[in-house]
């Protein structure tokens, strides 16, 4: 349920407003041993209440101690002409993400990694005693197989797929769902997903928001799916 889909590559081009950022946004959030942490990444261009709903559902249904709201520097599948400065997207994310368990971060800006798979590998290496869950929207699941090293991503951390308008059936039809059908965890067991060794994934139904970052940028309130 990430309307701003993360593409196969996470760019790390300089942001003209990067100097406005508090430096803590450029470091991985602090987490303690044994914590269960959700990783929720996207352009958030702009962030909105639909994103906040995803975060709330993930925190409650997965029993998360924290959710890292990862604002990406850019997405090569999207035009950068309409991409707001990173500092602005972080500030708006802080406004939208009111839950104290949500940690807004842009640490990918300084990691120097090119792909999501590499980012997750770095996260895992730096936090060996934390239990991470990758969070994505059902609309992203439909195109997940086009991401670079998508199977490696699936084998790094358990994945929670949150329902999106118009994408409910993607957990049955997507290439990722078919490839890793053997690793699917029943939704009723979502709270113990963190205990599963990757690959492991679940599909979580629940309230769905039709809000769309693209539609907001275009002056509309929502779209069927994005």
Please give the C-alpha separations between residue 121 and each of 45, 153, 162, 168, 183, in angstroms, as whole numbers: 25, 9, 22, 29, 20
Distance CA 81, CA 177 (A): 33
| pLDDT at residue 209, rounded to an integer | 45
Which is more confidently placed, 72 or 6? 72
Q: Which residues pair with 66 in a beta bridge?
A: 37
**pLDDT tens-digit map of 108-152:** 999 877 689 999 999 999 999 999 999 998 888 888 999 999 999
Domains and CATH numbers, the chain: 18-217 (3.40.50.620)
Which is more confidently placed, 159 or 23? 159
Please say if the pLDDT value at position 106 is more than 50. yes
Distance CA 29, CA 126 (A): 11
Nearest of 99, 86, 100 to residue 44 by alpha carbon:
86
| pLDDT at residue 114, rounded to an integer | 64
Please say if the pLDDT value at position 16 is more than 70. no
Q: Is the torsion defined by CA of 118, 197, 150, 108 positive or negative?
A: negative
Q: What is the 8-class DSSP label of residue 78?
A: S
Which is more confidently placed, 218 or 135? 135
Binned at pLDDT 50, 70 and 90, residue 82 comes out as confident
Please say if the pLDDT value at position 3 is more than 90. no
| pLDDT at residue 211, rounded to an integer | 45
**pLDDT tens-digit map of 35-76:** 999 999 999 999 999 899 999 999 999 999 999 999 998 655
């Amino acid at each position: 349920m990430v309307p701003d889909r993360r593409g196969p590559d996470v760019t790390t081009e300089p942001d003209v407003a990067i100097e406005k950022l508090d430096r803590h946004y450029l470091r991985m959030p602090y987490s303690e041993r044994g914590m269960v942490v959700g990783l929720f990444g996207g352009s958030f261009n702009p962030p909105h209440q639909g994103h906040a709903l995803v975060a709330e559902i993930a925190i409650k249904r997965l029993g998360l101690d924290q959710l890292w709201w990862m604002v990406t520097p850019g997405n090569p599948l999207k035009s950068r002409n309409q991409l707001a400065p990173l500092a602005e997207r972080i500030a708006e994310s802080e406004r939208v993400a009111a839950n104290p368990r949500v940690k807004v971060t842009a640490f990918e800006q300084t990691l120097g990694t090119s792909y999501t798979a590499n980012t997750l590998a770095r996260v895992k290496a730096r936090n060996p005693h934390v239990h991470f869950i990758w969070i994505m929207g059902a609309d992203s699941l439909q195109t997940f197989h086009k991401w670079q090293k998508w199977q490696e991503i699936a084998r790094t951390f358990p994945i929670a797929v949150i329902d999106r308008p118009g994408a409910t059936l993607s957990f049955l039809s997507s290439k990722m769902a078919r490839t890793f059908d053997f690793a699917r965890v029943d939704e009723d067991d979502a709270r113990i997903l963190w205990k599963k060794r990757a690959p492991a994934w679940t599909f979580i139904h629940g309230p769905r928001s039709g809000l769309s970052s693209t539609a907001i940028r275009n002056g509309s309130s929502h779209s069927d799916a994005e």
